[in-house]
């Protein structure tokens, strides 16, 4: 039993409401449960109840037992002075207002529907499952699942937007600079995301713009800042990059103190930082105004076209310095481009539109529904439990579901969990 379950029971009045009384035997009528408060303070705000003939408007606090009022120190907190009803599973002690009056209590132990309690226990007590509702996940109606996936997609988008908005605040709304940071992190993927982000944070964006006339110059800047040019190698191209970086470092008074060096371990060669940094340099050299172009584009294919770039020619026959490989153009793959759209471009477009008071929700849904789903173990496992559409909207929603609901057993806040609780 946890308080989330009691919040659910109270919010949706999933209890026997006939002949309600307080713990003191006074008649009780719930006129409004109040608004669910997810911040500090009482659990439900501005509720409306009738006790006897008196109507009360105020807050409701919910606990498993009455004694938790004191365990949580509410008697010392003025935020709880306006609590008009204490809803508990087990009433084990009296709780008093500062004037000495007992706060009315509604005890739910004998009032919750047995089937609801059984469904709750079935859902929450299976700790060995991948997700709590694993056996029943596929039984939820398609229309409910679709609506829930849409909401989860925007929830995840809002979380990404919050990070972008914080960066905008730090940079005095320098959109290009923030976009560069987000783009760098995405190019680094999971393994080198933090490393590539530290690269972006170490540079004044004006320096990046000034170096964008030639991809090799940007490549030298990026690799030098990430300490990838510190050693000596018997390679003319390496020496060229090294010489360029030394010049840039003096000219722009660069420092790479605190920059996190990238990893090569556990990466497939196409994801080596050498290749990704060269591709990033080629992209920003080909499109110095990439952010503006993407924000102005309403076409998914148009946005994709800007990313049709390759690493510089040296990398056609290399993945590392000195070591020669078979000839292959190191272009950004369609799947990698889609990852950039999902993780960087779409969140930036969402923030940009929001900043200027525009609603592009329909376009976002269309784009995300058109892009192929990411391939990862979470999406794969959910799709083994039920048939789901193979697009980025679904995969982003499923990542949000797993990481923010299922892993924390927040079934009371999940539409799937709510539906399964109501089963007869």
pLDDT digits (tens, 9 = 90+) for 315-352: 999 999 999 999 999 999 999 999 999 999 999 999 99
Predicted local distance difference test score (pLDDT) of residue 339: 97
Apex 410 CA angle, 401 and 122, nearest 5: 110
Would you list the domain boundaries of the chain?
A: 3-112, 114-170+336-424, 192-287+306-332
**104 DSSP 8-state letter:** P
Q: What are phi and psi of 102, to 5 degrees?
A: -75, 135
Question: Residue 126: what pLDDT?
Answer: 67
Burial state string for 304-340 with b = 16 or more CB within 10 A and e = fewer than 16: bebbebbbbebbeebbebeeeeeeeebbbeeebbbbb
Rounded-to-integer distance, Cα 221 and Cα 200, Å: 11
Distance from C-alpha of 396 to C-alpha of 153, rounded to nearest angstrom: 6
- Are 55 and 48 a contacting pair, CB within 8 Å? yes
CB 273 within 8 A of CB 195: yes
Taking CA atoms, 369 is separated from 333, 382, 403, in Å, by 19, 17, 21
The pLDDT of residue 304: 97
Instruction: Please identify every stretch of the chain with a pLDDT value under 70, giving residue numbers as ranges.
Output: 126, 424
Contacts of 393 (CB under 8 A, 6+ apart): 149, 150, 153, 365, 368, 369
Rounded CA separation 393/157 (Å): 10
Q: Which residue reads 């035997």 in tokens?
A: 25
Name the token pair of 154: 């925007």
The 8-class DSSP code of residue 40 comes to S
């Amino acid at each position: 039993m946890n308080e989330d379950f009691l919040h659910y029971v109270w919010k949706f009045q999933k209890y026997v409401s006939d002949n309600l009384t307080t713990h003191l035997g006074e008649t009780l009528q719930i006129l409004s449960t109040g608004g669910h408060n997810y911040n500090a303070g009482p659990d439900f705000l501005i509720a409306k109840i009738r006790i006897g003939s008196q109507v009360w408007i105020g807050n409701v606090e919910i606990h498993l037992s009455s004694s938790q009022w004191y365990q949580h120190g509410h008697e010392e907190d003025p935020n709880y002075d306006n609590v008009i009803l204490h809803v508990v599973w087990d009433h084990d002690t009296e709780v008093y207002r500062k004037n000495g009056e007992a706060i009315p209590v509604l005890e739910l132990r004998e009032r919750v529907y047995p089937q609801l309690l059984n469904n709750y226990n079935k859902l929450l007590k299976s700790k060995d499952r991948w997700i709590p509702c694993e056996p029943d996940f596929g039984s939820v109606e398609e229309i409910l699942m679709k609506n829930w996936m849409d909401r989860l997609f925007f929830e995840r988008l809002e979380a990404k937007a919050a990070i972008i908005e914080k960066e905008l605040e730090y940079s005095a709304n320098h959109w290009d600079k923030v976009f560069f940071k987000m783009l760098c992190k995405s190019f680094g993927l999971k393994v080198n995301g933090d490393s590539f982000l530290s690269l972006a944070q170490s540079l004044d964006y004006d320096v990046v713009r000034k170096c964008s006339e030639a991809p090799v110059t940007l490549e030298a800047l990026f690799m030098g800042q990430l300490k990838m040019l510190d050693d000596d190698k018997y390679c003319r191209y390496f020496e060229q990059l090294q010489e360029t970086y030394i010049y840039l470092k003096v000219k722009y008074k660069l420092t790479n103190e605190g920059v996190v060096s990238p990893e090569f371990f556990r990466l497939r060669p196409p994801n080596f930082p050498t290749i990704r940094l060269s591709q990033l340099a080629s992209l920003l050299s080909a499109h110095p105004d990439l952010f503006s172009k993407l924000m102005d584009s309403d076409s998914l294919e148009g946005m994709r076209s800007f990313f049709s770039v390759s690493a510089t020619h040296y990398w056609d026959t290399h993945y590392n310095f000195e070591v020669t490989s078979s000839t292959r153009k190191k272009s950004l793959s369609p799947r990698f481009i889609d990852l950039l759209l999902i993780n960087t471009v779409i969140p930036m477009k969402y923030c940009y539109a929001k900043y200027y008071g525009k609603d592009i929700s329909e376009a976002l849904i269309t784009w995300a529904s058109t892009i192929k789903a990411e391939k990862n173990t979470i999406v794969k496992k959910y799709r083994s439990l039920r048939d789901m559409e193979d697009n980025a909207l679904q995969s982003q929603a499923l990542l949000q579901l797993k990481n923010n609901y299922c892993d924390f057993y927040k079934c009371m806040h999940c539409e799937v969990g709510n539906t399964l609780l109501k089963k007869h």
